[in-house]
Structure 1
C-alpha cells in the first residue's frame, strides 16, 4: 500500500539556456602598426655593413684559439716529457776552463768559461736571491712561466723607441731567460753552428716564432720543475762577464767569496751584470758596474727587500773587486803561459785545469806602474810608441811580463814574446862573452878607427859609431862601456863570427841570426823574452836558461800534476870566469857608460843599451844580483823613434821598474869577477886620462903587454 507523500514533480526537463552563437573571425589579415626605425649612431652606422665580417672573424678566432691552445698544450707536454733531471742542466759548459795561479798559489787569471761549482737557489745568499728576482722578474713566484704584463709593457716600450716590438727589452721572465740559456733543449752541434759563439747568438735571436717557442718551453719548465729548481738552473748558467758562467764563478772571480756569502752591494753588482755582462763587468769598468749596482739596490728597496736604511748603507758602500781581480796583472803573461802548454790542456781543454806559474804579482805591478809612469810623465801626449817589459830570475823563471801599453787586454799582440825586432847594441855582450871565453881579457886593445868590411853579394860595408867619431885604441871594457861599433865588429871577426853565433844561439837566441859582419851590431831580430833569457845566462854564471812561466799543470781535484816545468837552467855556454868578467864589464856600462840612467843607488847593476839603425828599436837589458829585466821600445809599424835611444827612455823604464822591484830588499852584490888590472875603479868617460884608473904611463905599459900577448897568441 502506498500513500501519497505530496504532489508529484512535473515530468519535464529543466529548461536549458541556449548560448549565443560565436562571431566568425574575419579572414582578412590585420594590418600591424609599423615600428619606428632603431637609431644606430655614427659608430653603428660605420660598423653595420661589416657586421657579418666581425661575426666571421669571431667564429674563426675562437676556433683558432682552441686549436692554438691545443697545440701549446701538446708542445708543453712534449717539452716537459723530454726535460732531463736538474743536475744535468746546471752546468752549461761545452769546454773546460783554466785557472792560473801565481807563485804564491793565488789565482790571478782565468781562461775559458769558468764554472765555480753548482749552487742551489736555496743555498745562495738571500741578498743575491732578492737582487736577481727584483731586477729580472719581480713576479717570478706568481706567474706560470710568462709574465704577460711585463712582456706587453716591454713591447710597447720597444715600439715607441725603435718601431720593432720584438727588438730591445724583451720583458722575459726568469723562466723564459732560462729557456734561452738552455737553447730550448738544443745542444751545440758543430755541423750546424760555426762555433760556440754562433750557437749562443742563435739561441738569443728574437723572432715572433722564437718568442712563441720560448713561451711554450717556459710553460713546460714550470710544469716539470719547481720555481726553486728553475732559479737554480738560471743562477748556474747565466753568463756574468770575464769568462764567468754562473753566480758562483762570478762571485769568486770578482770578490773572492762564494755566492752564498755575498753582501748586498756585491749581490747588486752581480745581478746588475745580467743586463750586459761584458759591458758592465767590473774588471772592465768598475765605476760603470757600481752605477748599475746602485740601480739594482734601488729596485730591491722598491720591491720591499731592503729597508730605506739598508739601501742607503749599500749605496754608500758599493762593492769593490778582490785584490786578485783588482790587479790588472797577468794578461800578457797568462796568454804566454797558455801558449807554452799543450793545447789539449790549455785553449782546447775539455777539462777543468789549474796551472801554477812563476808570476810574482808584486813584480808585475811594479812593471806596470813603471811603464805607466814613464808614458804619462816623459812621453809626449798622443804618441803611439809601444813598450814591453820582462822580469825574470837568473834561472829563467819569468816573474812579470808587460806586452804593451794597454794593461787590461787579453789575447792581444804580445810585444814581449811575439815581436821580432833588431837588437842593436844589446847583442854586443855575446861578442865580448865569446872573446872572454876564448881567453881574452877585458883590457885587450881594440882599434876604433874607420874600417870597412866586404861581404860577398853585399859589397863594402863601413859602419860608424852613433856619435860619428872614433876613439882610436880602446880596451874591450871601454869599447863595451861606450858602445862603440867598430871595435865590436872587429872583435867578432877576430874571434870568429860563427863562434859568436854559436854562443848567442846557445844562450837562447833562437831567431835567425845575420850571416855577415853586421851580426856583431845586432842586425838580427829577436824577441824581448829571448834576449832577457840570454842575459839571465850571463847572470847565472854562463849557463843557458829557457824562460818559463808554467810550473805545474793538473786537473782540478787531482793531487798529481800532469805536467811540470820544462824551462830553467840548461847546459853551460861559456866558462864561469868569462861570465863573471863579462858581468863586471856590463857593470861598467851602468856605472860610467851608456847605461847610467839605469843605475840604482845602493845596488850593483849591470846592463847594456841597444839602439838599431834608424832608431826603430831601443833596448835596455840589465840585471841586479837577483833579477834580470829587459825593456824594448818602438813603434809597431817600424816608424823611427824621435830622440829615443836605449840609453834614454828604455833605461828610464828599466830604472823605474827595478826601483819598485828592489825597494825594501837587502842589496845583493853582482856575481862579477874584477880583473887584476882594475882594482882601481874605471873612470867615467870624459873624465880625462885614457878612461881607466891608471896613469898614462901605466896604461901604455898595459897596452904594450896586451899587444905582445895577442901577437904571441896569433891574435
Structure 2
C-alpha cells in the first residue's frame, strides 16, 4: 500500500510580521485591575526625586543631597533663633527709649543770644537752640527738602534700608575707600539714632568733654552700625515717622552754632522755620551733609550751589514744579543782615568779654542779652570806614582803623575793631589796642584849667620853652609846624594843636591835676608822670578815649562805656542784671565843660579838624598824631553822638603822610554823616568865654605847685591863687620823670 496519502505537511517558518499576515490576531488578555492601579502610585512616589544612579556618581549625588538637607535644617533653625534674638533685642531697646519730648533738645545748654536796642537778634554765641519744631510745624518745603536729600524712601522703609546700604558700600569701594568710609547709606531714622548716641547718656565721670563724647559715640564702625540699626528698628516701633523726623529736625547741627531747624532759620534768615521758602529750605537741607564747610556764613556761594542741587532733587521727586524749581534757582537764598554781620562781629565780642563770665563766656544756661547796639549806626560806621579806604587809601595798604560811636551817657551804638568787619573772635583794635593818644589828650589839660577858673580867651605865649628833667637833662618841646605864634588864647592854642602852650598849661595847673581829670573821665591806663603827659605820651584804648569825650559832651560827668542793657535767662521775663555802665560822678563844673566844648568846636570850624565838617552842623573834636606818625586819632561829637577814630599799623609802622586831621577826620566825617541822616540839626551845649583876663608874659613865672584832687577844685580863692601863680611867660624847670620825655610834634 502506498503511504503518500499520509505524507506529512512540509515544515514552513511562521510569518514574523503581523502586517503581512492575513490571519486575525488573537485578542490580548486584559491586565488585572490591581496592576493598573499600582502603576500611577509608583510614578507618584518617584516624582519628587531624581532617579537614583548607580556607581560613583550616584554616591556623590547622595552625599550632596545629605549635606543640602543638613544645611537647610541648620539655616532655618538658626534663622529662627536669630529672629527671636533680634526681636528680643529690639523689644528691650524699645523699653529703654525715653519719651519723645525728652529727645527734642539734646544740645548742651550754654548759649548767648544778643538783641540790639530795638530788641532784634543780631548775634549768637555758643550752641544755639531756637525752640522745638515738629515735622508738621516747619515749612513743607523744608520737610520735603530734607527727605529728598537725606532719605527719599523714608516713609516706605522700616528704619533700615538694605538697598541703601548696599548702594553706599558699592560706591565707597568703587571710589577706593573702605566699605564704611564715605557714603553711609543711613536712613533718617539711623541718623537720628546716631544723633541720640544710641540712647547712651553722657557721663561726666568718663573723663571726656561732652563734645568729645559725642564725637566718639558717633564714630562709624561695623559694630556701631549694627547697634545703630537695632536702635533704628526700635524707634520705628515706638514712634511715628513724623515723630522721628521731628527729633531729627531738632537735633541736627546746621552750622553757625545752630542746632535744629528753628535755630538755623533764625540764624541765617532771621525768620521762623515755618516761614521758609523753597530756596531757603533747600539751603538748610543742603547743610546736613557738611554743616561747617557748607555754612552760608563761611561760604555763601558754595552753600547756594549745594542748595541748587537739593532743588533739582526736589523737582525730580515731585516736591516742586519746574516753575518753582527754576524760580528757586534763579533767586537763591540770601543771608539776613544779622547773619551777614558774622554774629555781631566786634561789638558782640566786646559784650561777651565785658559781661560776667558765668553768664557769657562760661555760661551753662541759655542767656538773652539786650544791648545798646544800633544796627543802623553800626552799618554807617562800617560803610564810612570802607568808603575812605576804597577811595582815599592806596590799594594794598596794611593800615588798620577802628571806630567807636556812643551816646553822651556812654551807651555804645557801634563798634568797629578793624577793616575786616565780618569777623568773630578777632583782635579788637577799638577795645584791646593800647596806643599813644598824642594831641587827642589835650582837651583834658584844658578841662583842668577851665575848672580852675581859666577862660578860653586867656592868653599864653607860644615861644621856645625848655624844662630841666632831673636825671635826664633839658627837654624842649616843639610845635608840629616848628615855629612859634607868640601870644595866643587858650582857644587858639587848642584849635591849632600847639604843643608848647599845652605843656605850659599842664605845668601851671599841675600834672597831678591833669592826670586826675583824665583818669576820672575814664582813661584808666597808667598816665605818663613827666611833662610829656601834656602831649599824649600815655596810652589808651579808643573806647576809653571816646568815653572820656562823652563826659565833656554831657556837661562834665564821667561815663562808663557800656553795651549791655539787661541780661535774663531764656524763658524768663525778669532780668538777672541791668546796665553795667552809664553816667557817673561829676569831674569838672558844667560851665567849664561848656566852655571846653566851645574851644573844641573851633578845632573843627577853624582849626586842625576842618576836614571833619559836614551838613552845616555844630561839631566839636580834637585831632591827634603821635611821635613818628605811628598813631593818628580823631575824636569828636555832635549834639547827638560821640565818635572816635584811630588809624595806624598793628606793628607800629609809621603812617605815611597821615595825621589826625587827615584820614581819621575823613573817616569820622563819613561815619557821622551817615549816622546823622534824617536827624534834626541841634546846637552843641557850648558857652562862649567870659571877657579875656589877659594874663600873659608880663606875669611872673613861679614854680608849679601841687594841685588839689580832681573833683574838689574851684571857688574864688582857688581861682585867684592859680591866676597869681600862672607861668604863662617864659619857661621854668619843674619836677619831672627820671627818663627823658619824647618829643611829640603833633596836630
Please state which band the TM-score falls in when normalised by the shorter chain: 0.7 to 0.9
Distance 1:171 1:383, change over 3 A: farther
Q: 2:259 aligns with which of 224, 229, 245?
A: 245
Distance 1:153 1:552, change over 3 A: same
Q: 2:288 aligns with which of 274, 280, 283?
A: 274
Query: In structure 1, what is the equivalent of residue 235 of structure 2?
Result: 221
Query: In structure 2, what is the equivalent of residue 638 of structure 1?
Result: 652
Distance 1:93 1:34, change over 3 A: closer
Q: Judge conservation of contact 1:397–1:568 (CA < 8 Å) in 2.
A: yes
2:724 matches 1:713: yes
Distance in 1, Cα, partners of 2:610 & 2:552 = 20
Matches within 5 A, 1:251-650: 251-326=265-340, 330-650=344-664
CA drift at 1:703: 5.3
Of the two, which has the highest radius of gyration? Answer: 2
Q: Judge conservation of contact 1:389–1:401 (CA < 8 Å) in 2.
A: yes
CA drift at 1:228: 1.6
Query: In structure 2, what is the equivalent of residue 89 of structure 1?
Result: 103
Distance in 2, Cα, partners of 1:58 & 1:412 = 69
Distance in 2, Cα, partners of 1:549 & 1:124 = 35
Distance 1:474 1:86, change over 3 A: same
Residues 591-600 or 635-644, more deviating: 635-644
CA drift at 1:176: 1.7
CA drift at 1:261: 2.6
Distance in 1, Cα, partners of 2:547 & 2:97 = 56
Q: Judge conservation of contact 2:528–2:538 (CA < 8 Å) in 1.
A: yes
What are the superposed Cα offsets for residues 363-395 of structure 1, whole Å, 9 maximum, x if unpaired? 111001111112222222222222111100111
What are the superposed Cα offsets for residues 664-712 of structure 1, whole Å, 9 maximum, x if unpaired? 222111111122459xxxxxxxxxxxxxxxxxxxx9x785798899996
CA drift at 1:449: 3.4
TM-score when scaled to structure 1?
Answer: 0.84
Query: In structure 2, what is the equivalent of residue 185 of structure 1?
Result: 199
What are the superposed Cα offsets for residues 153-194 of structure 1, whole Å, 9 maximum, x if unpaired? 233333343533333232321112112211222333444455
- 1:512 aligned counterpart, secondary structure: coil
Distance in 2, Cα, partners of 1:268 & 1:393 = 42
Please list every run of 5 or more consecutive structure 2 residues that lacks an aligned counterpart in the other structure: 1-52, 61-66, 702-719, 727-747
Distance in 2, Cα, partners of 1:635 & 1:507 = 27
Distance in 1, Cα, partners of 2:140 & 2:572 = 33
Distance 1:647 1:161, change over 3 A: farther
2:140 matches 1:126: yes
Q: Judge conservation of contact 1:444–1:706 (CA < 8 Å) in 2.
A: no
Query: In structure 1, what is the equivalent of residue 22 of structure 2?
Result: none
Distance in 1, Cα, partners of 2:309 & 2:273 = 20
Please list every run of 5 or more consecutive structure 1 residues that lacks an aligned counterpart in the other structure: 1-32, 41-52, 679-698
What are the superposed Cα offsets for residues 632-652 of structure 1, whole Å, 9 maximum, x if unpaired? 112222222222221222111
CA drift at 1:593: 1.6
Residues 339-348 or 601-610, more deviating: 339-348
Distance in 2, Cα, partners of 1:287 & 1:660 = 30
Distance in 2, Cα, partners of 1:526 & 1:64 = 80
- 1:152 aligned counterpart, secondary structure: helix
What are the superposed Cα offsets for residues 33-68 of structure 1, whole Å, 9 maximum, x if unpaired? 998999x9xxxxxxxxxxxx9999999999998887
What are the superposed Cα offsets for residues 435-492 of structure 1, whole Å, 9 maximum, x if unpaired? 1111112233333334333444544433333333333433222221121222212221
Matches within 5 A, 1:35-54: none
Distance in 2, Cα, partners of 1:98 & 1:235 = 21
Distance 1:240 1:456, change over 3 A: farther
Query: In structure 1, what is the equivalent of residue 164 of structure 2?
Result: 150
Q: Judge conservation of contact 1:445–1:706 (CA < 8 Å) in 2.
A: no
Distance in 2, Cα, partners of 1:456 & 1:702 = 29
Q: Judge conservation of contact 1:605–1:623 (CA < 8 Å) in 2.
A: yes
CA drift at 1:225: 2.3
CA drift at 1:494: 1.3
What are the superposed Cα offsets for residues 574-623 of structure 1, whole Å, 9 maximum, x if unpaired? 11111111111111111122211111131111111111222222111010
What are the superposed Cα offsets for residues 209-237 of structure 1, whole Å, 9 maximum, x if unpaired? 33333233323322332222111110111
Distance in 2, Cα, partners of 1:54 & 1:370 = 86
Q: Judge conservation of contact 1:329–1:365 (CA < 8 Å) in 2.
A: no
Distance 1:204 1:592, change over 3 A: farther
Distance in 2, Cα, partners of 1:105 & 1:594 = 40
Distance in 1, Cα, partners of 2:205 & 2:532 = 54
Larger RCO of the pair (alpha carbons < 8 Å, separation 6+): 2
Distance in 1, Cα, partners of 2:675 & 2:337 = 19
Q: Judge conservation of contact 1:445–1:707 (CA < 8 Å) in 2.
A: no
- 1:633 aligned counterpart, secondary structure: strand
CA drift at 1:509: 0.8
Distance 1:121 1:657, change over 3 A: same
Distance in 1, Cα, partners of 2:611 & 2:70 = 93
Distance in 2, Cα, partners of 1:135 & 1:405 = 39
Query: In structure 2, what is the equivalent of residue 693 of structure 1?
Result: none
